[in-house]
Amino acid sequence: MNLGAYRPVLADRDTRNALLLGFLIRVPMWAGAVILTLHVVTSLGRSYGEAGLVTAASTVAVAVSGPWRGRLLDRIGLRRTVGPSLVVQVVCWSVAPWVGYLPLVAFAALAGLFVVPTFSILRQVIIRSVPSEQRRTALSLDSSATELSFMAGPAIGVWLATSWQTGWALLVCELTSVAAGFVLWLVNPPLTSGSADASPERGPHDEQGEGARGEAVAAPTVPAGERAPRSVRGLVTVPVAAVLLAAACSTLVLSGTDVSIVAALRSFGATGSIGWVLALWGAGSLVGGLVYGAWHRSLSVFWLLGGLAATTAPVALALGVPSFAVLITVSGFLCAPTITATVEQLSRLVPERFRGEMMGWHGSAMTAGSAVGAPVAGFAIDHGGWPWGFAVVSGLGVLIAATGWLASRRGGRVAASRTAPGPGAAPAAPPVGVAPTDSERGLPAASMGD
């Protein structure tokens, strides 16, 4: 482990700005989500189930918009994508706090459909700003900053909602998020390494792809008698789909754990401990992300997912709040590394000119996992008690991780048996979930890039 690896990453101005902007944008985003629920329950006098429907409408809209907004980033650039979103967000959240329940559902869905794709934008900026060998470290910092914002945002949201009228708290929080998005529009950071601005132009080499510094890179060839990997629009190949499945499963485990934490602490009669226990869970993820970023090599997506799921299962054995707090902190250790690994691996599997759309698909996969994990854990808790919430999502995570790992191993053996490279032949691609080394790319470390 080399903590000095963070020094050159933080020395880059674009990376520092992206990390700071990410934190400033995400804090009001998390706070707004909490305030929205409290607004429906307290100010509108509705049930928690109805509050959940508002959140669900917004979540589904965000999931649908992810690939679409990402494709716009690839095609027309940051400003032309974000500008209309800012207008829609201002209109929606200026009106939504003062309307009834059904109009609020509609405004929340519309705002979700035109959400500013901040996660996609900032991760593209970070990937573009650092050399390939520093990518994992930079993305780990982004994951750690996300954990910090997650620890701060809900607490600020609860404080605002209890100090002010929820309508005003919702208005201030959402417009603060829009203001942070406007700063992103104003800064207009470049998203790709092959262009000087954030609006990529298609050149004569687009069909082949671009290298780290904009040079043309020949499209990969397929040996005679071999079939190219099946794909959707040349983008979602089988390896990419496997990583997206791992991303979805990671949030399935995390959202199921979230619900199970609340159920467990209510069972212990310690509802007041929910806030600081969730903070411990986030702190474990924060430490894990920093350790992974300083680690000497990348790890398989499926190994990390399996570890995340396996360390979640022992939480079901807790006998009280103290042991529960210790076990949940340990289970958080692999949260940020797993998500970081999915982003890093996708950035290596997908050409740069499609990266915005792929980050959108990644966000949609994680949103879908979250949407599945919570009800699955809830069903298990209703029928077997809170320990079964942890056990079920852990079992699903281990199963999917093992299946993905075995499939990647089998794919590697099949590829090795079918290809017999001669002198000067290109080296075989690494299995899914394992980042290629410098030697596998056939390039010295000094020339590495995306």
Q: Is the pLDDT of residue 78 over 60?
A: yes
Sign of the CA dihedral with 16 first, then 21, 22, and 27 last: positive
Sort 292 into a burial class: Cβ within 10 Å, 0-12 / 13-18 / 19+.
Answer: buried
pLDDT tens digit sequence for 402-414: 887 777 666 555 4
Mean pLDDT of 115-124: 82
* Chain centre to alpha carbon of residue 375: 20
Hey, do 1-193 and 233-418+428-439 end up sharing a CATH topology, with the first three levels equal? yes
Portion of the chain with pLDDT greater than 70, in percent: 79
CATH number of 1-193: 1.20.1250.20
Domains of the chain, by residue range, sit at 1-193, 233-418+428-439
Which helix (H) or strand (E) element contains residue 133? none
**The predicted structure's pLDDT at residue 130:** 80
Q: Which amino acid is at 260?
A: S
**What is the Cα–Cα distance from 126 to 146, expressed in whole angstroms?**
14
**What is the Cα–Cα distance from 273 to 276, expressed in whole angstroms?**
6
**What is the Cα–Cα distance from 219 to 16, expressed in whole angstroms?**
33
The CA angle 145-147-152, to the nearest 5 degrees, is 95
**What is the Cα–Cα distance from 198 to 73, expressed in whole angstroms?**
9
pLDDT tens digit sequence for 250-306: 989 988 888 888 888 888 888 777 778 888 888 888 888 888 887 767 788 889 999
User: pTM for this one?
Assistant: 0.67
Instruction: Give the lowest-confidence range in 98-112, 224-238, 371-385.
Output: 224-238
- Decide yes or no: CATH 3.40.640.10 for domain 233-418+428-439: no
- Residue 278 contacts residue 155 (beta carbons within 8 Å): no
**What is the Cα–Cα distance from 284 to 168, expressed in whole angstroms?**
34
**What is the Cα–Cα distance from 331 to 281, expressed in whole angstroms?**
7
